[in-house]
Amino acid sequence: MATNPNQGGKKLVRSKSGLRMVAANSAFRSPFELEEPPWVPDSECSQCMSCKAKFDFVKRKHHCRRCGKCYCDKCCQHKVALPRLCFLDPVRLCYDCAVITQKENEFYDKQLKVLLHGAAFQLSCPDDMENLSEPCLCKLSADHRFLLFENAGHAKHSPVELEQVVAIQILTAGEDSQGNIVANGLSIKHKERESGEIRHLQLIISATTDNRRQSLAFVGAVQKGVKFMYEAKESRGL
């Protein structure tokens, strides 16, 4: 499979849940994207799956666009943006899914922007014999599939495919004067798609970094993004 961060495009599709803007080729979908759930068939749903109210000509059935379960209007009245399923407009959700989605949307509103903007680090590869450390700008590719490493004047490190990350760990540098643990970087282990080899790299926040706060925010955002990626793979049965 190709691993060019610039490949792929978008297409508009209409499902029974609404309009979605998805990757033209599913191989290039965002690793944060959830699989659209199947709906519980109307024939198998005679009552609300939350309050147990019986459906009739007055009390109509509604399906939650995130879990696919069947509810009455009262139990499925929330209209919430659902970027993890690529819907263009807010969609109908049950109460539980609305709460989860609103929390997740904080990632899209804040942390995803941090990842796309990038942050400065010292990049090192402990697997290499020399294990040289060099400054780089690390950021997420526009399609969310790769971590990119930009370093003016030096050869670029190969992009890391997010779905091939097998482990991440926040690096620490002791405690501050108040006893709080001080984070100073991120350790990432990932699998090379072609060889299957596990590679290890570290992003270290340099003491001379101009914007340490941005680098710390990036570390936290990567951790959240990888969690989303694992959830998405599980929803697709991977």
Answer whether 13's CB lies under 8 Å from 22's CB. Answer: yes
Question: The pTM is what?
Answer: 0.82
Domains of the chain and CATH, by start: 10-110 (3.30.40.10), 118-235 (2.30.29.160)
CA-based nearest residue to 164, from 195, 142, 192: 192
Give the model confidence (pLDDT) of 10-64 as tens digits. Answer: 899 998 888 999 988 888 889 999 988 999 999 999 999 999 999 998 899 999 9
Half-sphere exposure of 15 (CA within 13 A, CB side): 20
Tokens of 176: 């501050």
Residue 85: its pLDDT value, please?
Answer: 94
Burial of 221 (0-12, 13-18, 19+ CB in 10 A): buried
Give the model confidence (pLDDT) of 180-213 as tens digits. Answer: 778 889 999 999 888 889 999 999 998 776 788 8
What are the helix and strand counts (H, E) for the chain?
A: 3, 13
Return d(Cα 213, Cα 179) in angstroms, integer.
Answer: 19
Give the model confidence (pLDDT) of 103-147 as tens digits. Answer: 999 999 999 999 999 999 989 887 775 556 788 899 999 999 999
